[in-house]
Amino acid sequence: MNGIMKPGRLHCVILSRYPLEKTYSIRGSIHVDHNLRDVSDDMIRLLTDHDVKYVSLLRDNVVEGNSWEMSAAQSLHNVPGVYSGTIIEYIPNKSITYGEVPGLQEKGRIYKELISSKNIKSLSLSR
């Protein structure tokens, strides 16, 4: 499989202040696992605002696309669950708007409790 994950798969992404034994590239002030190929500018701003320093993949598989971003955003805001969606807009202290991803139907077959942007369009950050 060339180390590339098939569309529709679920991945474990670790957000932390400390590195794992990985190779990282730097996006702004964030160290991103070199196998995580796509990170939106809005995701970088969100991670920076939450003092995340490292984004790592549990496994050494190449992940293309931004489907992991919704799950990371929900986790940063202590909202439990398994999510798949992109971040299409982040407004600090106001909201995060989510977008759809390809392969959602396949992911839904793998994990029946999967939540996507079809279920949740945005997350309010207002206090």
List pLDDT tens digits, range 70-92.
999 999 999 999 899 999 999 99
Question: With bands split at pLDDT 50, 70 and 90, how would you rate the model's confidence at 108?
Answer: confident
Which pLDDT belongs to residue 76?
95
- Mind listing the pLDDT tens digit for each residue in 25-52? 999 999 999 999 999 999 999 999 999 9
Please tell me whether the overall predicted TM-score, pTM, comes out greater than 0.95 for this model.
Answer: no
Cβ 22 vs Cβ 14: under 8 Å:
no
Phi then psi for residue 114, to 5 deg, are: -60, 135
Q: pLDDT grade, residue 10 (50/70/90)?
A: low
Distance from C-alpha of 19 to C-alpha of 33, rounded to nearest angstrom:
9
